Amino acid sequence: MSNSMDDVAKEAKSFLIIGSNTTEQHPVFGTMLRRAVKFRGAKLVVADPRKIDITDFATLHLRQRPGTDIPLINGLMYIILEKGWEDKTFIDERTENFDEFKATVMNYPPDTVSKITNIPIEKLYEAAEILAKNSPMAVIWAMGITQHIVGVRNVMDLANLQMLLGNMGKAGGGVNPLRGQNNVQGACDMGGLPNVYTAYQAVTSDEVHEKFEKAWGTTSNTKVGLTVTEMVPGILDGKIKSLYVLGEDPVMSDPDTKHIRHCFAAIDFMVLQEIFPSETSMYADVLLPGVTFAEKNGTFTNTERRVQMVNKAIEPIGDAKPDWWITSQIAKRLLSGTSDRVQREAPFSSWDYADTSAIMSEINALTPSYGGITHERLLKGERLQWPCPTKDHAGTPILHTKQFTRGKGKFMPIDHVPPAEKPDDEFPMIMNTGRVLYHWHGGQMTRRAKGLMEVYNEALIEINPSDAEKLGMNGRKIVRVTSRHGQIEAKAWITDRVPPGMVYTNFHFPNASANELTHASLDPVAKIPEYKITAVKVELV
Amino acid sequence: MINIKLDGKDIQTEAGKTILQVAKESGVHIPTLCYHKDLSPTGNCRMCIVEVKGGRFLQAACVTPVAEGMEIETSSEKVTRDRKLTLELMLANHPMDCLTCDVTGECELQDLAYEYRAKFPEWGTKGKRYQIDSDPNPFVRVDMNKCILCRRCELACAEIQVRDVWGVAKRGFSEQIVAGAGTNMLEARCESCGQCVAYCPTGALSNKLNYGMALAHQVRKVTTTCSYCGVGCQFDLLVKNNKVIGVSSNPNSPVNGMALCVKGRYGYDYIHHPDRVTKPRVRRYLLEGKKKEEIREQIEEKRGKPASDTPSAWDWVEAEWDVALEIVAEKFRMIKEAHGADSIGLLTSAKCLNEENYLMNKLARQVIGTNNIDHCARL
């Protein structure tokens, strides 16, 4: 998030929630937004094909056809420009490339957009007016925006919208992607990505790899690595022989499960470090017992870049070990066998860490935005959001207040690209996927939580009443959903949360996981799969 | 600014504040029960009554604004006597089971009874009027016999969670807190966030998952950060005998204050689930020095099926850490030698610590020499 949840919830005069089921996926932030609407009168526009719970609080709900976010956003910007509601000062002083961008937006007049998105013209005008006239306006999104083959374009277009309205760098505005996992922000910040070291220092930059060569006493690989969506299929074509998987369950969470299983079955050697035997552990050669968050000390970074302490409450269960200890042990053993790879005199060549605070000191030295974030400060109660470059820096709740990282904000002309999968006669419906309030991702944790299972204990497929009637459900419960990639059977939940022609499934339960049906069409830049749109047919069982 | 007299002391303060606010700012303690700083004051429990000179009745400090020239006594004999009487009336309608009540030690009614030496009436109490554990919600234990009608639950649901599950039904002695129009909580669209439990001052609403497991003074509280979504709520883990037995709100949490969601507050029991892997496991073929190619058929035969007695090279065998780690290192070394560093990939974890993700990045780049590292940010 460019901003913090607190300033967004307390100071925005309006919100655009697009592709975020906020009250179910980020429930506490969801309640902050409900409070803003109910007690402060903030205006809320929700753009989502589904009638998710937060739409109860919406001033306006736009139900765009899935995969038409760019025409919708461009259409709103067309109206903003037509009415002269743009922030001319912000555009002049802080941005560039406006004319080229505007030329593209001019191709999206309301009648065209209405045809593509299926949103009535007057609702487009109403939405544009709410968002432009109640500023600051905060845009909030999650995977509903990013899990498309146009994920990157969707995000850029939302950034265009916020620059057009001058909502960047101020409290109550900003671009606010809600990160899914507790520490997905931190995993990215810490270099858990194929193209960057910590703090997004590019592996292709000479300056950067020299810095890490000196620090770690090693020679750098300067070739950008593979993403998860490339590594797993890479097993089949022989590129990847071995995987070390820490706390992930790709069989549940990656697209096209059948294909994932097929890939994993072909691997030479897989190490899985987990707390439970997962769906993925069937394919692992070695299973190392890591621990839960309650059994170790360290930090997580939340969606607003806030670094917070995780404090050990209990001793590891059985012979399980903290994950940082296990990784260090593997590293040490590998180095003892190939001693020429690392020069011991380099300042951070060693793997002898007494605790995670010592690891954080190394992070401080090599990660500019985390330079001043120490366990000591956090334990004293300091509240720190990165960038926090030095030990006397108070952190940065709002980004881009004076200028953007690259200097001026660059408007990007973004055109519509239709989704990869289109419905046809055989697969006439669209399946959307996601999670529900009571479960988490592949479900390894929440399926083992008694109370949560009492409330929600099987996969439910949301289907519109009109589709249920067409199918002739008439009291029958189980449906079979088939895509070009697989099929599942599960109980139907007949509800107008989904529009006619759409079903919604989750991936919490192995016997009916949405990812048996999804496909690995990727965004060309981010390599994120298009989970949100799969062509399916639905039949009675 | 206005001038008032509080317990004989001259105080200058702003108009519009309540007596309770001014007292707090001046370091004067006024007891409260239905009042909570996060919720709208209602003035219905009468614990915070004070004597205002010239007033016909004692005033509830939480809802009475200060006015110019006001003279307030916060602990006069009359005030103390009336507070005690109020408490005794509550106790007359409260079960006498503090000895086995789950919230003993953190019950605000109990604290006040102790402070004011209020006892259960000698003639006994009204006894059980409602079914104990009356709601099927799997997380919240409802015992309205212990309800003092403070309405914090109603306000927490309406003002924090904004879900309006709780309401008040009937009047007079029959007055009671109900979910929806007298249905159960889940039927009334409860999201099981447990905010009502966190704000309940007595044992009327308590936690079902750890009912009977510990009293307040028997648990150690460890403040930590939730491991579910990216909001980053903080809370206290309740620990007894090296076991996490619950979660409680920590009002100092930077992001969420007292608020939590159903997973954060009630989704912790996976920690001690019997499925936990507690010792390293390796496939039998690795201990027997076989190659994976030799046993592909056995793997296909075995995979995804329930454990059987027929031994297979693909069986899990528990191993000591040294053995397992040595196998891992040896295999990585051999694969790197045979196929190069880029034939190895690392999937790091968005569930793990920053420090652990840093080490995975260091392992990939410093030790192995590949940039093949990613995690589930895309998934």
pLDDT in tens, B142-185: 999 999 999 999 999 999 999 999 999 999 889 999 999 999 99
Nearest to B244 among A26, A231, A313 (CB): A313
Above 90 in pLDDT, residue A325? yes
Q: What type of residue sits at position B249?
A: S
pLDDT 10s digits, A417-445? 999 999 999 999 999 999 999 999 999 99
Largest CA distance in chain A: 74
Chain B closest-CA separation from residue A280 CA (Å): 10
Q: Which of A179, A247, A151 is nearest to A524 (CA)?
A: A151
| Total count of domains within chain B | 3
Question: Could you tell me which chain B residue has the CA closest to the CA of A351?
Answer: B359
Above 90 in pLDDT, residue B65? yes
* B377 touches A at CB < 8 Å: yes
- Choosing from B254, B272, B290, the residue where a domain stops is B272
3-state class of B222 per DSSP?
Answer: strand
CB-CB under 8 Å, A311 with B162: no
Residues of A in contact with B300 (CB under 8 A): 265
Nearest to A287 among B231, B316, B330 (CB): B316
- Regarding beta strands B220-225 and B234-240, do their DSSP bridges make them parallel or antiparallel, or are they unpaired? antiparallel
Residue B362, in any domain of the structure:
yes
d(CA A152, CA A155): 5
**B167 and B221 together in one domain:** yes
Decide yes or no: CATH 2.40.40.20 for domain A429-540: yes
Structure letter (DSSP) for residue A193: B
**B53 and B162 together in one domain:** no
Q: Which of residues 401-440 of A touch B (CB under 8 A)?
A: 437-438, 440
Residue pair A44/A65 in contact (Cβ under 8 Å)? The answer is no
**B18 and B159 together in one domain:** no
For chain B, the first-to-last Cα distance in angstroms comes to 58
**B262 and B370 together in one domain:** no
**B61 and B136 together in one domain:** no
CB-CB under 8 Å, A333 with B232: no
Q: Which helix (H) or strand (E) holds A215?
A: helix A206-216
- Choosing from B75, B108, B136, the residue where a domain stops is B75
Residue B55: CB partners within 8 Å, gap ≥ 6? none
CB-CB under 8 Å, B263 with A440: yes
Residues of A in contact with B306 (CB under 8 A): none
Residue B302, in any domain of the structure:
no
Nearest to A246 among B255, B282, B347 (CB): B347
CATH code of the domain in which B166 resides:
3.30.70.20
CB-CB under 8 Å, B348 with A231: no
Each domain of chain A, given as residue ranges in start order, spans 5-178, 184-385, 429-540
In percent, the amount of chain A with pLDDT more than 70 equals: 99
Above 80 in pLDDT, residue A453? yes
Residue B334, in any domain of the structure:
no
Residue pair A275/A320 in contact (Cβ under 8 Å)? The answer is yes
Q: Looking at A182-196, B256-270, B285-299, which range is the least confident one? A: B285-299
Chain B closest-CA separation from residue A454 CA (Å): 7
CB-CB under 8 Å, A294 with B268: yes
Residue pair A319/B280 in contact (Cβ under 8 Å)? The answer is yes
3-state class of A140 per DSSP?
Answer: strand
3-state class of A252 per DSSP?
Answer: helix
Residue pair A170/B336 in contact (Cβ under 8 Å)? The answer is no
Tell me the angle at which helices A228-236 and A257-265 cross, rounded to the nearest 10 degrees: 60
**B253 and B367 together in one domain:** no
**B70 and B135 together in one domain:** no
3-state class of B302 per DSSP?
Answer: helix
- Per-residue tokens: A1: 């998030």
Q: Which fold has domain A184-385?
A: Rossmann fold (3.40.50)
d(CA B269, CA B33): 32
Residue B316, in any domain of the structure:
no
d(CA B290, CA B282): 13
CB-CB under 8 Å, A298 with B343: no
DSSP3 helix / strand / coil % (chain A, rounded to 5): 40, 20, 45
Residue B95: per-residue pLDDT: 92
Length of chain B as a residue count: 379
3-state class of B247 per DSSP?
Answer: strand
For chain A, the first-to-last Cα distance in angstroms comes to 44
- Choosing from B237, B272, B307, the residue where a domain stops is B272
CATH code of the domain in which B51 resides:
3.10.20.740
> What average pLDDT does this structure show over B104-114?
96
Q: Which of B189, B215, B198 is nearest to B137 (CA)?
A: B189
> B170: domain range?
121-272
Above 80 in pLDDT, residue B339? yes
Q: Which CATH architecture has domain A5-178?
A: 3-Layer(aba) Sandwich (3.40)
Query: So what's the ipTM on this one?
Result: 0.95
Residues of B in contact with A354 (CB under 8 A): none
DSSP3 helix / strand / coil % (chain B, rounded to 5): 30, 20, 50
Q: Which of residues 153-212 of B touch A (CB under 8 A)?
A: 159-162, 186, 191-193, 208-209
d(CA A219, CA A213): 6
Q: Which of A370, A404, A437, A358 is nearest to A26 (CA)?
A: A437
Q: Which of residues 89-148 of B touch A (CB under 8 A)?
A: 138-139
**Please, how many CA atoms are within 13 Å of residue A333, restricted to the half-sphere of its CB?**
20
Residue B288, in any domain of the structure:
no
**B44 and B128 together in one domain:** no
CB-CB under 8 Å, A311 with B224: yes
**B363 and B268 together in one domain:** no
Residue A43: per-residue pLDDT: 98
Residues of B in contact with A183 (CB under 8 A): 230, 349-354, 357
Chain B closest-CA separation from residue A83 CA (Å): 36
Above 70 in pLDDT, residue A339? no
Residue B105: CB partners within 8 Å, gap ≥ 6? B215, B216, B217
